[in-house]
Structures are given as C-alpha cells and as structure tokens.
Structure 1
Amino acid sequence: MSSIVDEITLESATNFRGRIALAALTGRKLHLKNVHADDNISPGLRPHEAAILKLLQLVSEDIEIKVSANNTNVIINPGLLLGCKDKLVFECPTTRGISYYLEFLCMICYFFSFPLNIKLMGVTNHTLDPSVNSFFIAISSFQKRVNLPVLSVNVEARGLLPDGGGSVTVTSPVVKKIEPFTILNTGKIYKLRGSAFSCHVTKNFVVRMISQIREIFNHVLSDVYIYEDVCGKEKAGKSTGFGVELVAETFLGTIITRILLLEQ
C-alpha cells in the first residue's frame, strides 16, 4: 500500500483557491511554486490571492504560511479550521468581488469547529465575479438540492468599482456529515428573476433597463419579473454605477446567473 505524501508541490497559480481549500481540509502541507512568475511586470501573488491566505489565517488556528521575498513561492502548513468564535470583519481587496472570497469560504465553512460569522467589506458587484446577490441565490439553491444548511448572506450596502464600500454579513452553521450527491442534468429554463440597480444614479436608468429586459425576454418566457433597487446614500457604497442582475431557474432547480455592470 502506498503511503500518503506529507507535502504536495504544485506549479503556478492555477485553481489557487481550490488548492488551498483542499490543503486546509486534508491537513496536508502545500508548496506553490512559480506563482505568476512569468509576469515580467508584476510577478508573484495578486492582492486578492494574498487576501485568501489572510482569510484562511483568520479562520484557522496553528496555521503556518511562508511567502518568499518575491511573492512567487508559498508554503502553507495547515492547522485547525477553527471558524469564528466571535464575529469577524475582513476587508477584501477591490481587485476581485466579495463573491470571490465567499466562494472560498463556502469550500471550507461546513468543516469549522465554530459557525461562520463574518462581515466582508469591498466590491459587491464586480466585472470579474458574480454579484453577491446572484451568488447567494445560486449557492442556496444548490445547498437545498444536496441537503446542506443554507448560507445566510445579508447585503448591508452595495459597493461598485473602483472604491468599493460594500458590506456583506455571512453566517453558516457547522455540519456533522455531508452526504454524497450526483447532479447530471440542468433542465430547461422556465422563469427569470432579477434586479436593476443603481448607486448614486438617477432612477431613470433603472426604469429603462427593466423595460429593455422585458422587451427581450417576454418573447421567450412567460414568467419574468425584474424589480427596482435604487440604493440610497447609506447603501450605495463609495462609487457610482448601475447594472442588472439576472437569475434564471430551470425545471430541475438549477440556477443560472448573469450580471451586467456599468460604472460611470
């Protein structure tokens, strides 16, 4: 019988979050080499990747992380996934949206010793990631299908590029057992939901967006509902912009999300 390798060495930053999550869950030491080493202008960890390491440290105990001077080599010696004894606050770099960090937390939060309870600050609607609202709808649908407790996500304020200012509180319980599951088919789309939102922008943009969306989708779907979300000063973050979040649901319960974001 072959023995389990104590340390895993991998090249590049491919599937960065997935590799780190698996190392944390299995307790195996991980060595990542040549992280963005081929970038002549800015080699090494990106701000959002460094933030993932800080986030893992925040919810872990007895973890050891070493980063080389040029930021291209990372050694992670995982500890105990402790979770949140008290409510935590984490500032997310604006190079990626808050859902980028949420996706990482979803990989590990059910295995914490204490329930997840954290406030994430940053960009809720990013061009590179799903919006926090659409991510929550998609992940909660999936969690219900596989009999997992639904993640609680409360968007207290939207935050757009470039300055962010969004605020999201996330809570989730710890589970004792996760049953295996199989999902093979997505099914056909039968309804569409969504929101047209604006931050520090007149409501006229929202009304026009809803009208155009209905004009397109009413020809192919009978169940279409888009609501207005005009954010006031307290919930509009630091930047100006507007956009649309669309969520389609199939007969088998599969959720498909899309977002269009325009910054002024």
Structure 2
Amino acid sequence: MGGGDVLRVRGSQQLRLRLVLATLSGSTLRVDDIRARDAAPGLRDHEASLLRLLEKISHGSSVEINETGTKLKYKPGILVGGRNLVHDCGCSRSIGYFLEPLLILGLFGKTSLTISLKGITNDVTDPSVDAFRSTTLPMLKQFGVPTEDLELKIITRGAPPLGGGEVRLKVPMVPTSLSAATWTDEGMVKRIRGVAYSTRVSPQMANRMIDSARGIFNRLLPDVYIFTDHYTGHESGKSPGYGISLVAETTTGCMLSSEKAATPLHQEGDGAVDADTDAREPQLPEDIGLQAALVLLEEIKQGGVVDSTHQALLFMLCALSAEDVSKVRVGKLSPYGIQTLRLIKEFLGVQFNIKPDPASGTVILTCVGSGYKNFSRKVS
C-alpha cells in the first residue's frame, strides 16, 4: 500500500504487527470493533503503551481513539529514532512485546535509536530479553546490519506481576536498505548456551534449573554451558521470579532458542498476568529446566535457520530487503508466521513462494524484497 491510503480492519487481532506495517508503508490504519463484545471492551494497556512508544520514535504521527477505546485511527509520521529515550512499558505485557517493533522501526529512523525500557523482563507470554539478546539480534547480520552497533543491556530484572526491570536498547539506522539473504543451511548443533536467572529467591533456584536441563543435553553433546544470573537488592525488581533461556548454536551460525519462566504465584493487582495464562505450569525449578530443554530439542528437530518464535521477524526482514531474491528455510510454519505472511502481502505487496521440502520436513520460502529504503536518514 502506498502513502495516503486508508486501511480499515476490524478486531484486535495482530494489532501490533498492523501498526508496524502501517508505519513502514505510510498507510493510515483504521481499526473498528476492538473487543467490542468483551466484558472489558477497547484497547488494552499494552496496546495503548505501544501507540505512545510509536509517537516517541516518530514525528508527525496522529492517534485518535474513541471514548470506549473500541475505535482507533492511526496515521503514521516520519521515523526519527532518538537518543536517551525512556519508556515505561507497564506490567500488562513484558518488554519483549515492545522490542521487536522497536528493532524493525529503529533500522529505518533518521538517526540511530537508543532507548531505555522499563517493566517486566521475563514472563510466560512474550519472548524474554535474554532470547532477544542471544538470538534475535544476531539474525540481523544476515541482512547486512552490523551487529557491533546492536546492543541490549539488562540493567535490572523484573518478574511479573510487579515488574521493576529495565533494559537499554541500541539500534543503528540502515544507510539505504537491507541486503537480501540466502539462508537455507541450518547446519548441525555444535554447542548449547543459556542463562538461568533468579530474582528475590534463593540462588539455588538457578542451579536446580541448570542441573535439570544439563541432564538432557549432556546425553547429546559435551559443549553445554548455562550461566547463572542471580539478582539481589534494587537490581532484582519488585517481584520474585526465576526462569531459564537456552540457545543452540549450529555449525553455520544459526541460533535456535527456547525458554521457560515460573508462573507468578500471586497474580492480583494492577497489571497482573491474565488469568487465562496457563496457571497450571509447574513451579518446580527442575520442571522448568526440563521443559525448556525439551522445547529446544523440538525446535532443533523441526529444522530451519530460526526457531518458530522468530519466523515472523525473519519474513519481515526478507520483505523489507533490497529488490533481490531472498531465500530462507524454516521448520513448520507457526500460526503467527502465517498471519505475518498475509499482512506483508497486504501492506507491502510482497508475496512469498512457499515450497515444502519433503526430505527434511522443512519449508523453503522465496520472495523478491520490496526494496524498502530509509527515506528518513540525513543526506550529506
């Protein structure tokens, strides 16, 4: 879609992705019937927070919301990036909900982006800051982004429901456009790394998760190292919590991640985790370490150059790359990945050719990039 177009949609599905694509394409987005039939209709706190964040990193954007929050009109502005920005993400969703949009939009700003985000760093719903740092950021080197200019620093941890965490994100601007990528060789797993964190609980929680996960991996390969990351005092946030994030690195440089966090024992209060979240998850550290290890093995089994959590970002980067052919291999397409492909076609006009590979059980996707350029950058 070109600038000046108005796209009308209904419902709250994929609102975050629609806002990002509307910002990139310059299309005005009109959303009606946002949870109109719910007991609590309208935009959620994290969605309103995302809109405020988009206003911070752009100039000239306009947001109109009706009294009940069930209708939204978003007119994107010019991406300017910014330095030393601060944003409070609240406690209804974790910081991971906001990191992916910031990463994509920050690449096409007028200046590089440096922002501090405050809230929940690890929860059971969104990708954690650990997975973002170890798996998401290295993906960008495949598309010509210098990884030495990318940084995510964890200042303090924050577990649900009260949060209290803070991270600092740095994203460089792309001078012109992203490079097309041919990324189809996932290689063989050569090492496994990870981090087990704990806040406001005994440091032994992290060790118990590590022992449980290593009990699985040590049967498969010797190069397994999982760090402990224990926080105390003001660096430990406002709520007790613990979890583990694991990364399998292959011989071709692919990163496959999995993670698991403890479900908060007390979920009442402002910004508490939704009651629909799987509250039946076990609280034992041994179970959390075991489940994270099994999920990682399943991701490795499915194949592909990224895990299922990162499929959508991979497709976005391919669609925004130069007008050349990009070819990638993934495992079983995730529901979110499929929806992303549909919205990319709707907003950017990029259609992927999808071809299953029966020999490996993977899927090969090919597209010609949109040639999206950073028009916001300063011209010397």
- Would the TM-score normalized by the shorter structure come out above 0.5? yes
Match of 2:44 among 43, 46, 67: 46
1:143 partner letter: L
- Consecutive unaligned residues of structure 1, counting only runs of 5 or more, are none
The aligned residue for residue 58 of structure 2 is 60
Query: How far off its partner does 1:232 sit?
Result: 1.9
**Aligned pairs for 1:215-230 within 5 A:** 215-230=215-230
Residues 6 and 28 of structure 2 are in contact (CA less than 8 Å); yes or no, is this contact kept in structure 1?
yes
**DSSP 3-state at the match of 2:124:** coil
**DSSP 3-state at the match of 1:87:** strand
RMSD (CA atoms): 1.8
Instruction: Label 1:3 to 1:50 Cα distance change in 2 as closer, same or farther (>3 A).
Output: closer
Residues 141 and 253 of structure 1 are in contact (CA less than 8 Å); yes or no, is this contact kept in structure 2?
no
> Does 1:254 find its partner at 2:233?
no
**DSSP 3-state at the match of 2:228:** strand
Alpha-carbon separation, structure 2, partners of 1:135 and 1:232: 23
Match of 1:97 among 94, 97, 120: 94
Residues 130 and 258 of structure 1 are in contact (CA less than 8 Å); yes or no, is this contact kept in structure 2?
no
**DSSP 3-state at the match of 2:252:** coil
Alpha-carbon separation, structure 2, partners of 1:98 and 1:256: 20
> Does 1:146 find its partner at 2:138?
no
Residues 155 and 165 of structure 2 are in contact (CA less than 8 Å); yes or no, is this contact kept in structure 1?
yes
Residues 32 and 73 of structure 1 are in contact (CA less than 8 Å); yes or no, is this contact kept in structure 2?
yes
Instruction: Label 1:233 to 1:10 Cα distance change in 2 as closer, same or farther (>3 A).
Output: same
Match of 1:112 among 85, 109, 113: 109
> % of aligned pairs identical?
34
**DSSP 3-state at the match of 1:143:** helix
> Does 1:157 find its partner at 2:156?
yes
Higher fraction of helix: 2
Higher fraction of strand: 1
The aligned residue for residue 179 of structure 2 is 179
Instruction: Label 1:44 to 1:152 Cα distance change in 2 as closer, same or farther (>3 A).
Output: same
Query: How far off its partner does 1:23 sit?
Result: 1.1
**Aligned pairs for 1:203-242 within 5 A:** 203-242=203-242
Residues 4 and 28 of structure 2 are in contact (CA less than 8 Å); yes or no, is this contact kept in structure 1?
no
Instruction: Label 1:95 to 1:182 Cα distance change in 2 as closer, same or farther (>3 A).
Output: farther
Tell me the TM-score normalised to structure 2 length. Answer: 0.65
Query: How far off its partner does 1:240 sit?
Result: 0.7
Alpha-carbon separation, structure 2, partners of 1:179 and 1:203: 44
Measured against aligned partners, the alpha-carbon deviations of 1:11-51 in whole angstroms (never above 9, x if no partner) come to 22222122111111121111112222232x11111111111
Instruction: Label 1:70 to 1:57 Cα distance change in 2 as closer, same or farther (>3 A).
Output: same
Alpha-carbon separation, structure 1, partners of 2:2 and 2:58: 27
Residues 12 and 34 of structure 1 are in contact (CA less than 8 Å); yes or no, is this contact kept in structure 2?
yes
2:121 partner letter: T
Query: How far off its partner does 1:4 sit?
Result: 7.4
Residues 149 and 172 of structure 1 are in contact (CA less than 8 Å); yes or no, is this contact kept in structure 2?
no
Alpha-carbon separation, structure 2, partners of 1:15 and 1:182: 28
- Consecutive unaligned residues of structure 2, counting only runs of 5 or more, are 266-380
The aligned residue for residue 133 of structure 1 is 130
Alpha-carbon separation, structure 2, partners of 1:142 and 1:3: 28
